[in-house]
Structure 1
């Protein structure tokens, strides 16, 4: 994920679990159905799972309890410390979507929640290529994240946040690189994935991208 946001991750670490529980009105709609989002990602995962943006370990915990072998990647020390307190058994490596240690174990699933939007579209394209190289044949990517059906919808939701006085949310939506669904689909299909989307709340969709072993020329 974009390292330019690392200070935000560090600051948000202590309040993140309260926010996902709906205790911050500004982000209540973003985290609506949070447990359902995590459960859907787990249900779509199999084998050895590489999780980018472990955060405070909420998804990691569910994956481990489902009997999956999890390798975590996390750039924020503050987030990582909270995750390790919850899950001492979790293997977490320092890194982000673009820069991380070599993964020697065969990877069947790559997962992430509320994190891929920290990359620009160009960075997302690079990351998707790397994912294709890491994954085993017929491996899959399962990402839950805020994304928009169109640029018009995105701007309307920014305006709506401002009208409600949710200025921190509006700032986030303007500052970070929340993708348009068609753009995200192109990024993954270009790198040899069959892609599906499922909407989970007003903001969040789940992207499922299955490696089809026929990567096109970039």
Structure 2
């Protein structure tokens, strides 16, 4: 087909098609007699892919990388890139939400006395700035991409100080899954899913599960072991989901990777994506510093273990009923919170 036909078919300008040619994203064959471009069905599919990637906010140079990897059938790398793009867009969306909340707060206070207005605006702006700084401070300090290979060969439990050794690990997760009690038709979220240890115990008949982790390599191995689990790149401070999507949200042995300043923001993110009357379950070492560090194999300052009563207080302040349940191993607790009806 000619360039005009392709443009009409995909509702794009001929100028845009020429631009993608100049950038090396399209290489249509030329007629041997007159040199006119002749676009094939494969060219049309490729252009449609380019337009979709551009609509998703992906830069032209990055589109070239995605297309090259697609041509080489490097599907894992293509998926990794697209998931990173999705995660970044969700992060931008969360920042926009916070900016809108800041503006709403400033508008509400425009009727304040002039001498106090500036101070109130400044306080709101500082609060928004602090929240952004906390979210941006997230980093994988433990190189979980590398750990994923060890976990795949030997199993995660006890291999690193991030989770307890077997058989306690399996007993803990089984007890926690029983308390979460997933029901037919529910949609659950496991944050920091790793290779899917907790999610696998929640994937009962008729339950849909999403697993989130900051490690693309962990997620790749997780999909191999649990094909029924939907996976997304993300973390506790930036959950790549819209509001109110899940009946239950869980996390196991990941919360202690957050600093004390990051933990309330993580709780807010878990609550944000939870449906009305939904439930949150946090499984982790808590409360007993001396025994806790000995059990986890880490030194004070390396991890940031939560105080269960502080978590309970946060939940109660934000409209939840919450309780603490001691699990199999010393210092391992389940904090289970249920959003109370209005």
Aligned partner of 1:123 in structure 2 is: 262
Aligned partner of 2:314 in structure 1 is: 187
**In the alignment, is the contact (CA less than 8 A) between 1:140 and 1:211 conserved in 2?**
yes
**In the alignment, is the contact (CA less than 8 A) between 1:49 and 1:70 conserved in 2?**
yes
Consecutive unaligned residues in structure 2, runs of 5 or more: 1-134
Aligned partner of 1:15 in structure 2 is: 150
Task: Pick which of 15-24 and 138-147 moved more.
Answer: 15-24
Alignment CA distance shift 1:28-1:90 (3 Å): closer
Count the aligned residue pairs. 201
Alignment CA distance shift 1:105-1:8 (3 Å): same
1:55-110 CA-to-partner distances (Å, cap 9, x unmatched) read 01122222224542101111112211210110223211110011132337731100
**In the alignment, is the contact (CA less than 8 A) between 1:114 and 1:146 conserved in 2?**
yes
Task: Pick which of 14-23 and 135-144 moved more.
Answer: 14-23
Which structure carries more relative contact order (alpha carbon 8 Å, separation 6+)? 1
**CA–CA separation in structure 1 for the residues paired with 2:311 and 2:244:** 27
| TM-score calculated relative to the size of structure 2 | 0.52
Computing the radius of gyration from Cα coordinates, the structure with the larger value is 2
**CA–CA separation in structure 2 for the residues paired with 1:103 and 1:146:** 29
Consecutive unaligned residues in structure 1, runs of 5 or more: none
Higher strand content, 1 or 2: 1
**CA–CA separation in structure 2 for the residues paired with 1:19 and 1:89:** 20
Q: How does 1:92-107 map to 2 (within 5 A)?
A: 92-103=231-242, 106-107=245-246
**CA–CA separation in structure 2 for the residues paired with 1:123 and 1:207:** 17
Aligned partner of 1:40 in structure 2 is: 175
**In the alignment, is the contact (CA less than 8 A) between 2:140 and 2:214 conserved in 1?**
no
Q: How does 1:1-150 map to 2 (within 5 A)?
A: 3-16=138-151, 18=154, 20-22=156-158, 33-43=168-178, 44-46=180-182, 47-103=186-242, 106-148=245-287
**In the alignment, is the contact (CA less than 8 A) between 1:128 and 1:191 conserved in 2?**
no
Alignment CA distance shift 1:120-1:191 (3 Å): farther
**In the alignment, is the contact (CA less than 8 A) between 2:244 and 2:274 conserved in 1?**
no
**CA–CA separation in structure 2 for the residues paired with 1:114 and 1:156:** 16
Alignment CA distance shift 1:125-1:29 (3 Å): closer
**In the alignment, is the contact (CA less than 8 A) between 1:125 and 1:188 conserved in 2?**
no
Deviation at 1:203, TM superposition (A): 2.8
Q: How does 1:173-184 map to 2 (within 5 A)?
A: 173-184=300-311
Alignment CA distance shift 1:194-1:154 (3 Å): same
**In the alignment, is the contact (CA less than 8 A) between 1:6 and 1:75 conserved in 2?**
no
**In the alignment, is the contact (CA less than 8 A) between 1:107 and 1:139 conserved in 2?**
yes
Deviation at 1:156, TM superposition (A): 5.5
| TM-score calculated relative to the size of structure 1 | 0.78
Deviation at 1:32, TM superposition (A): 5.1
Higher helix content, 1 or 2: 2
